[in-house]
Amino acid sequence: MNGDENFITAILTQAVEDASYEGASKKYLKHKVSAIDWIVSYDPQYQEYCKMLGLDPSTIRNKILKNVNMTITKKQNNQIRLNTLPWQTRKYGQHTKVCSTIWQERR
């Protein structure tokens, strides 16, 4: 993989990690909800990133839904409801955190 592909893989990996967050931190719950929406709603940027890696967005989405627990627990839901400020969503194409590439392991 080249540098761009590694970076896009890291973005998709971070989205999956955020979507599967199991804690109750308001900060990370914001990212969880945003990541779930980004993946499930077929966000155009998500689709483009998958295509840039030669992956079918629908196939990857379905694999994520099948293999990643994205359930929002009762405790998390209560924490989300307590948050009265507008949420700032993570922009997956704009952060630079380097992540492990679980996609290679799951293909």
Contact 15, 92 (CB under 8 A): yes
**Residue-wise pLDDT tens digits, 31-90:** 999 999 999 998 999 999 999 999 999 999 999 999 999 999 888 888 887 764 444 445
- 58 burial (CB, 10 Å; 0-12 / 13-18 / 19+) is exposed
Task: Please tell me the pTM assigned to this model.
Answer: 0.74
- Residue 76's alpha-carbon distances to 40, 68, 73, in angstroms, are 19, 17, 5
Per-residue confidence (pLDDT) for residue 27, from 0 to 100: 86
